[in-house]
Chain A
């Protein structure tokens, strides 16, 4: 696992900028020049990557399986949209607000998440996400219900760069959010706290024996993960100037679980690449034929349990291993 190599080395490797990650970042920047026609799609890919990284912190590192992570994504999206509608439409302010709202909700929910086994966790997360969805659906005066929340303006980024029609600012904004999130989460997972999280994933029963406060660690991970998911949602709402119920839905929760696993649980480069690949494939194929996309996705998911476990991340590791050997 590439995370282990980060403990030594200079500044850049301490924030995760090395090897394959460098290629990932360079590729992200290059995509701006390679696909200037598709900046809107690329922005969405960055959003998906941030969301996938937030889920990976929870499931890939902490071992908490969740079927309702879209709740935090959607909360962030609505928080940013609602704040912008009240007139406070600075994008960074919206980002911070969305992160705080999502993280707070996650924090409130932690007592019921950290207890119980995998099955009850799946249900609690699914139940809570359904509750949030229903609440958003019912509170039309706040969320617009099934029509979503359109028509809000976002102020120029840093007061300087207007969100233009071609999506250049949106691209740079979402890439910056992705890069900063990536470096932040890299620091988190390579810290002693991250190591403790992986210990909990491997064996939650033995961790208390070495004095590790399992529940507190999981609570911190859940809150962080919720906050980052909120950031992803906020970026999507701000750059698309729209917040809607499907941002909260079960489909999105199931999707992010697949994306993170197909990318390679606990492998941040793999998850990022996986998210980008998934988002791009989905955009290409689901416009051609949504039903065959769904069929193909189902088959890939079933196969992924038996072959290519470890996802794209382990493929990348194998490539690198072959080259250096």
Chain B
């Protein structure tokens, strides 16, 4: 029984990480119709930046996180303004080719700079200890992940559902032309959301080093999972991404623990099944 709970908590923590990776992808896909297969590579970039800041720069891990957030967000904004905005009206194939190319290049650069080996990052020891909750021993870092994921989700939900900025984004997701017609500067929304999405992916990457490890294959390793979350959650929906990420995280953890022979088979089966029944995802607005 306590095994079941520990594994579920693991799954929730994993799901929260996946949510951080996926939410930016979901919003950019819903808002800009941009299929960004380099999103996993952005997360990888954030993770390597954290490794450099903490291990070489000597910064404490928790202080490195906001720096990673700002840096990956800034890179995302620059990328959006310089290149990616030219791809919005191209077909899916062009977007896929460009973003796969970008992911290849980033992954190769990571191999050239850091080598193919696994990287670790120093995490404060008070975070790594075990915490006792209702008599259950749970890794403190898992709790930290769950809390940060929940806080991020709440902040994003507030931003999207209760602010003018969020209202503008929802308007542009639903109908871009009409939104432009009433004076919403959709261009500016694009930069901001792309930057936020990249920043969250970067922080997600930094947070995931401890749990998932980090090497240059990271750019593609979780890509399928990310796309699945967006597909199941529905592009452009934050709650959908959160639910889908938690669901997939928990299902994956449970099956890996209790039925390892099935491997990832179940997860992909779920994906295909959902897409057959609901091609627009469970809570999809558009796309």
Contacts and interface: CB of A to CB of B under 8 A. Distances in A.
Nearest to B225: A130
Interface in B207-238: 220, 224, 227-228, 231, 235
B160 interface: no
Going nearest first, the 8 A-B pairs with the smallest beta carbon separation are A301-B101, A298-B105, A298-B104, A118-B92, A295-B108, A294-B108, A302-B101, A127-B271
Interface of A: 59, 65, 67, 112, 115-120, 122-124, 126-128, 130-131, 134-135, 137-138, 250, 254, 257-258, 261, 265, 291-292, 294-295, 297-302, 304-306
B interface majority secondary structure: helix
Contacts, number: 127
Contacts of A250: 220, 224
Given A120-B231, A124-B272, A130-B268, A257 B96 contact: yes
Nearest to A116: B279
Interface of B: 29, 35, 83, 86-87, 90-94, 96-98, 100-109, 111-112, 220, 224, 227-228, 231, 235, 261-265, 268-269, 271-272, 275-276, 279-280, 287
Contacts of A124: 272, 275-276
B100 A127 contact: no
A134 B94 contact: no
A122 B96 contact: yes
Contact of B100 (A112, A134, A254, A265): A254
B218 to A, nearest CB: 14
Nearest to A255: B100
Given A123-B231, A131-B268, A295-B104, A305 B276 contact: no
A304 B96 CA distance: 12
A297 B106 CA distance: 11
Nearest to A260: B93
24 contacts: A65-B96, A115-B279, A118-B35, A118-B91, A120-B275, A120-B280, A122-B92, A123-B275, A126-B224, A128-B272, A134-B268, A254-B100, A258-B100, A292-B108, A294-B108, A295-B109, A295-B112, A297-B101, A298-B105, A298-B108, A301-B104, A302-B83, A305-B90, A306-B86
